[in-house]
Chain A
Amino acid sequence: MIQARFAGSGGQGIQFAGSVLAEAAAVYEGHNTVQVSSFGPEARGGSTKCDVLISSRTIYYPRARSLDVFLAMNQKSSDRYYADLKEHGCFVIDSGSVSAAAELDAIGFPITQVALEEIKNVITASMIGLGIVVGLTKIVSDEAVIKALMDRTPPRVAEINRQALERGLKMGSRARRSVRPHVLHA
């Protein structure tokens, strides 16, 4: 079973990134998948996290306990959840907004910066983050995640999201050569 967590602040697109990953796994790759969203009591803002569990077997307990993959988009969620990572788990941070201690083996990417400077839309940061996670770990195939994204996005914003996701996939794949995250199986 693979356990992935995306966390950040409300409005960053964390839940959306999580659902795209979950749908890629369930709809396009036929895995048993559970996606759990959790929120604070606030209507907006606050912290948010999205867990995605992917398995070839029936998933009973729908909670992530030892994370294979963790994407932290802000400092608060990084501090709060890095302890849930399993040993040698893949820890991806937005280097612009998270400063993790070096011993945590975090892999930093300038996610928000790329979203602002290259894609010119800060809201696409979560798509870049998703792309990096998939490119780095290959939990699902690139095609599956792109298809899942295109299925979910209204045409008006499809192109910019796709651009961001593909940019992320490229960043992740490139890093994969040097980082070599532990092999993951659903």
Chain B
Amino acid sequence: MTKARQKKTSPKSGDGRKADPMRLVSGNKMIAEGALAAGCRFFAGYPITPSSEIMEYLAQKMPRIGGKFIQMEDEIASMGAVIGASLAGAKAMTATSGPGFSLMQEHIGYAAMAEVPCVIANVMRSGPSTGLPTKTSQGDFMQARFGSHGDIPAIALVPESPIECFHLTVRAFNLAEEYRTPVVLLSDEVNAHMRENVPMKIELEAEIRERREPEVPPSWYKHYPEEVMVRDRPMAVFGEGYRFHVTGLTHDHEGFPSSKRDQIIDCHTHLVDKVRRNAHRIAAAEKYRMREAKIVIVAAGSAARSAKEAVKMLRNMRIKIGLFRPITMWPFPKKQLQEAVGRKAKAVLVVEQNFGQMAVIVRYYMPRRMPVVHLNQVDGELIEPEKIIAKVTELY
């Protein structure tokens, strides 16, 4: 379980800087820094509020460290360039917001089908369509899972703070390499434009996963595995002598289109199962003050910050309440949720900045007798802790 809790700094003492020096950084910049720390050396994108700062920062940094930065003509092309770069051996990413994320879906499906590792940072804003460019929302939870046609092995991570933006970006790249699939980072406008304390020197939470080169001679190389759901397997760089074919069509082990029934089943089962069967390795969540909680709030991303404030205030009033915060939206941390809620809870309150996308999933994993209550806010503002408190008091 990854945890990126904000470090509490000691209060002011004396005159100068602290022993543990801090700086003030926005979530967007932390995504960019996380990408570089993870070894990302290719970025293609098209500017869109509230994600543009990621692009701006990488436009400055990439050329200086031998990476490539391209501003493409639109989001579809951006995703295409990212797939190409990844096949050519680079760790690659793009960043966008709702409208751009919608455009990228076609190529996200392609990357999933062709098993191309890449990272898409989607800084959520209010939708549908152009919506409210400068306001926050969590409207893309479902799009990250079901945006593409067909069944894709969706992995999506939801950060709650700038420092977590960093750690989850690194994790997104690691997961992309491990499972050879596109990984979505679901940040939002609140995180994007908020600057918060971040240590001057950030320690990585996990080792950086590099792409594994094939250990066999080119003539033996199979780009796609013969057994299903294999993770962490070698991947040859396109154009270095290892022959393979890349297509969006259902394919065999060498990548060539196939319509043989057993190969079709293998291809699709492998795609979905490599994430589904490894969900226990990927799924992550944070439990906040869950001890003897009678009401469990489920909230992710920036909404979880409001929920934490509400929990803190309610606990001060001796109301037994806790927060369950999914860090991976997909795969959803269902086991952790079921354990956290247990038998003693009276109700589950799902707080989110949409009309109930996560609540559907929570409902699905909760026993029938457990009430699952929605609390939604879609006005572009971060939900106020008072609203959560009012709802909890009603339920308690």
Contact = CB atoms under 8 A, between A and B. Distances in A.
Interface string B193-216: 111110000000000000000000
Contacts of B132: 41
Given A57-B8, A58-B8, A27 B22 contact: yes
Contacts of B305: 60-62
A56 B8 CA distance: 8
Given A60-B309, A62-B190, A143 B12 contact: no
Contacts of A27: 17, 21-24
Contact of A26 (B15, B23, B306): B23
A141 B13 CA distance: 12
B205 to A, nearest CB: 19
A33 B190 CA distance: 15
A26 B10 contact: no
Contact of B196 (A19, A29, A34): A34
A39 B189 CA distance: 12
A166 interface: no
A40 B134 CA distance: 7
Contacts of B309: 60-61
Contact of B385 (A22, A40, A56, A61): A61
B24 A31 contact: no
A180 to B, nearest CB: 22
A149 to B, nearest CB: 14
Given A32-B8, A60-B312, A62-B382, A41 B134 contact: yes
Contact of A37 (B11, B193, B197): B193
B22 A41 contact: no
A30 interface: yes
Contacts of A186: 11-12
A26 B11 contact: no
Interface in A1-54: 19, 22-23, 26-41
Interface in B100-126: none
A37 B132 CA distance: 16
A174 interface: no
B384 interface: yes
A88 B148 CA distance: 54
Contacts of A60: 305-306, 308-309, 312
B316 to A, nearest CB: 13
B195 A32 contact: no
Sorting the interface of chain B by its residue count into under 10, 10 to 19, 20 to 34 or 35 or more gives: 20 to 34
B24 A33 contact: yes
B6 interface: yes
Nearest to B18: A30
B259 interface: no
Contacts of B12: 29-31, 56, 186
Interface string B1-28: 0000010111111011110011110000
B24 A23 contact: yes
A59 B196 CA distance: 9
Nearest to B195: A35
A63 B134 CA distance: 15
A35 B384 contact: no
A36 B192 CA distance: 10
Interface in B67-100: none
A34 B6 contact: no
A173 to B, nearest CB: 18
Given A35-B196, A60-B306, 12 more contacts: A19-B24, A22-B24, A26-B22, A27-B21, A28-B17, A32-B9, A32-B196, A35-B194, A36-B193, A39-B134, A60-B308, A60-B312
5 contacts: A30-B10, A31-B11, A34-B195, A35-B195, A36-B193
Interface of B: 6, 8-13, 15-18, 21-24, 132-134, 190, 193-197, 302, 305-306, 308-309, 312, 382, 384-385
What are the 8 closest A-B residue pairs judged by CB atoms, nearest first?
A61-B309, A30-B18, A56-B11, A60-B308, A60-B309, A35-B195, A26-B24, A29-B12
